[in-house]
Structure 1
Amino acid sequence: MTTLKIDVHHVTRVEGHGNIVVDVQSGELKECRFEVVEAPRFFEGMLRGRLYTEASHITSRICGICAVGHATTSLCATEKALGIEPSEQTVFLRKLNLHGEIIDSHVLHTYMLVAPDFFGVGSVIPLVETHRDVVLRALRIKKLSGDLCAMVGGRHTHPIAMTVGGFTHLPTEAELRQMRARLVDARADMDETVALFATLPWPEFERETEYVSLHKDDEYAFIGGTIVTSDGFSYPIEDYKKVTNEECVPFSTAKWTHHNRESYMVGALARLNNNFDQLHPRAKEAAAKLGLKPIVTNPFLNT
């Protein structure tokens, strides 16, 4: 019978720090866990006693990669508490800024963290010699997304222009028109990205779980709406704690959450599973080429 012990410190090519522990004794899986070992950050404590205008700038420091998401969430919470209704223009620009960050994060994940495994190398660096076009495409997309965030938020990482109720300054019409043209031109790189990842041999692995995301009747939701799950539950955003149900575990500094099952999944795959019908037609075409049709239960396809 198989006896196997795996103890990886730390997992590489992930956004953060984590360990993997696996213990198989006489063919029986005794333990399998992912440990988040980053030091506690105590952002809740940092915010106590600070001005409400400072909150989004502090919370954006939770992550340098997804700073826009943390800042936007903080602003939405502050405005909810103060009874402030942001203008249609403010909401639109926040969405634009968030989309820039999502593009940036996804190209980092797909090209820099995932692709090296499929090409049999330890990092993206060796791909410069063997697949230079792939690396250059990734850098072009990443540059575009960074410029988009900087145009709206004042800078790419940790936006400084977003504030409670609006922005401290706005992009000009000329900047917006120029950015629109660049985004249209980038469709070729996006199409090539889909074509590349459609050819990769994804692991055949299925794991059914509950998928949790935002939902809005009139758009593919990233900000606002209601909280929905693939198990049929729906909650107003104000009741988010009924979904998160945070708990501490001894082997991880990141809190665990559960809802209708032992765990659930959020993010890109959850949004696709819960809001597939609201995808843009071009996005649906890309999903078809990648073999994505809800409910998708292969977590590798979150890429």
Structure 2
Amino acid sequence: MTSVRINVEHLARVEGHGDIRLVMEDGQVTCCEMAVVEPARLFESMVRGRSFEEVPYIASRVCGICSASHVVTDLRAIEHAFGVTVTDRTRALRELLVYGSYLQNHATHLFVFAAPDFLGHKSVFPLADSNPELLQKALGLKALGNELCTLVGGRSIHPITAVVGGFTHEMDSAEYRCMADAMDEARAFALEAVDLFRDFDTVDVRTEGDLLAMVAPGAYPVCTSDAARFVRSGDEFSAQDVEEAIEEYPVGHSGAFLARVRKTGRPYMTAALARVNASWDALCKDARYAAAKAGLRPPELNPFANNIAQAVELVDVLDRCAALCRRLADGDFEGTSEPVPFTVRAGRGVGFTEAPRGALFHLLELDGEGRVQRASIMTPTAQNIANLEADMRQLAETMAAAGYDADLIRLEIEKLVRAYDPCLSCSVH
């Protein structure tokens, strides 16, 4: 009998702290755990009893990369509870704010966290020495995301201008046009990024579970729809019914709750890969061409392809943001971005956005004074961990059957975890 034990203490190049434990006996996995060792952060307890006006600012502190997504998600939950309908211009600005976090996150993940895996480095520092121009261009994309979030949200992280019903400040036409030009200039490097990750070798595996993404007819939505779809099964549900569609459950080896489809008990993946599978036809022309050139076409079920999907989204985001900025500069949206009037009332609402790492749900129950009585936050990483463990198990058994040794299996397991782009700090409640 051959026994293989893989223990990774504090996995490197991910957000937060987590350990990998994998045991194989005669090529069969007997233990496979992604142990999140973060302490409870008590997101929901922090907002209980707080006024709706404070909650988005508190929720933004869940994450330093996805803070824009948390703010917009919270605002959507509050507005659903109060029955608020925002203007088209406000919706466009919220898209820009969320897209700014995509530029921040994807550039960081792809080039600082993931690329060293495929270039034979243990960290980004050798890459900075061997190809400083590549890293500088990547950091330039992140800086562009920072600038967009600052101009729209008032700060590069933890936005302050987005409020219930609209925005308290908006940039002027010249700033919009300047940002549009900057997006156009960055597109060439984003296309290069797709080609770079296309050329990296990965193990041929198919994810075990389903794929979950926001959907809307003829659109590639990130914060403008309430509809979610499990791509492989085709089942759809409204975000307002998320607790009927998705079940969270605890496990003994991790500080994070795991998630599964309530109807089937299956795990699922939510990420850029899920969005590309769900809304392929709605990608911008350049992004769709780059994806097809890279071999990324639905159905793409290899979780390693999430890296390519993020690179494709960089191209898509730059095109969309340039177009949105020019339309906003030209006044091509009905209404203003000033907060619309509303009445505080008791109610329940679920906010739903596509954060950079995947589907994000905020559930809020408010009393007649607009104070939070109950809150629940389901982050993408918390939803992904069960599926990640299933994919780790499958990858290990596939590689063992092909004769790979323990060191190579360990390397590919780590690469797989990083391909999911987890934020382990955000996965604990």
TM-score by length of 1: 0.97
8 Å contact from structure 2 (residues 18, 35) kept in 1: yes
8 Å contact from structure 2 (residues 14, 113) kept in 1: yes
- Counterpart check, 1:139 vs 2:143: no
1:271 corresponds, among 261, 268, 275, to: 275
Question: What's the CA shift for 1:26?
Answer: 4.3
Question: What's the CA shift for 1:134?
Answer: 1.1
Counterpart for residue 203 of structure 1: 203
Counterpart for residue 259 of structure 2: 257
Superposed CA RMSD in Å reads 1.2
2:243 corresponds, among 238, 241, 244, to: 241
Question: What's the CA shift for 1:264?
Answer: 0.3
Question: What's the CA shift for 1:147?
Answer: 0.5
Question: What whole-Å deviation, never above 9, does each CA across 1:146-184 have from its counterpart, x for those lacking one?
Answer: 111111000111111111111111111111111001001
8 Å contact from structure 1 (residues 209, 261) kept in 2: no
8 Å contact from structure 2 (residues 214, 222) kept in 1: yes
Q: State how far apart, in whole Å, the 2-side matches of 1:106 and 1:202 are.
A: 19
Q: State how far apart, in whole Å, the 1-side matches of 2:59 and 2:198 are.
A: 37
- Counterpart check, 1:174 vs 2:140: no
1:68-107 equivalences under 5 Å are 68-107=68-107
Question: What's the CA shift for 1:261?
Answer: 4.3
Counterpart for residue 67 of structure 1: 67
AA paired with 1:64?
Answer: G
1:125 is paired with a residue whose SS is helix
Counterpart for residue 228 of structure 2: 227
Worse-matched range after superposition: 20-29 or 130-139:
20-29
1:283 corresponds, among 282, 287, 293, to: 287
Counterpart for residue 21 of structure 1: 21
Q: State how far apart, in whole Å, the 1-side matches of 2:28 and 2:204 are.
A: 22
Question: What's the CA shift for 1:295?
Answer: 1.1
8 Å contact from structure 1 (residues 210, 261) kept in 2: no
Q: State how far apart, in whole Å, the 2-side matches of 1:25 and 1:298 are.
A: 25
Counterpart for residue 124 of structure 1: 124
Question: What's the CA shift for 1:243?
Answer: 2.5
Gaps of at least 5 residues in structure 2 are 308-429
Question: What's the CA shift for 1:73?
Answer: 0.5
Question: What's the CA shift for 1:95?
Answer: 0.3
Q: State how far apart, in whole Å, the 1-side matches of 2:141 and 2:212 are.
A: 28
1:258 is paired with a residue whose SS is strand
AA paired with 2:298?
Answer: P
- Counterpart check, 1:293 vs 2:297: yes
Identity of matched residues, %: 38
Question: What whole-Å deviation, never above 9, does each CA across 1:7-36 have from its counterpart, x for those lacking one?
Answer: 211111112211100112344321011111
2:93 is paired with a residue whose SS is helix
Q: State how far apart, in whole Å, the 2-side matches of 1:126 and 1:170 are.
A: 41
- Counterpart check, 1:49 vs 2:53: no
Question: What whole-Å deviation, never above 9, does each CA across 1:62-95 have from its counterpart, x for those lacking one?
Answer: 1111111111100100111111111111110000
Q: State how far apart, in whole Å, the 2-side matches of 1:136 and 1:60 are.
A: 28
Q: State how far apart, in whole Å, the 1-side matches of 2:245 and 2:273 are.
A: 18
8 Å contact from structure 1 (residues 68, 97) kept in 2: yes
Question: What's the CA shift for 1:287?
Answer: 0.6
1:240 is paired with a residue whose SS is helix
Question: What's the CA shift for 1:43?
Answer: 1.2
Q: State how far apart, in whole Å, the 2-side matches of 1:244 and 1:158 are.
A: 28
Question: What's the CA shift for 1:141?
Answer: 0.8
Question: What's the CA shift for 1:225?
Answer: 3.3
Q: State how far apart, in whole Å, the 2-side matches of 1:289 and 1:15 are.
A: 30
Q: State how far apart, in whole Å, the 2-side matches of 1:208 and 1:20 are.
A: 18
8 Å contact from structure 1 (residues 213, 228) kept in 2: yes
8 Å contact from structure 2 (residues 108, 139) kept in 1: no
AA paired with 1:275?
Answer: S
Counterpart for residue 37 of structure 2: 37
Question: What's the CA shift for 1:119?
Answer: 1.1
Counterpart for residue 2 of structure 2: 2
Number of corresponding residues: 303
Q: State how far apart, in whole Å, the 1-side matches of 2:154 and 2:245 are.
A: 34
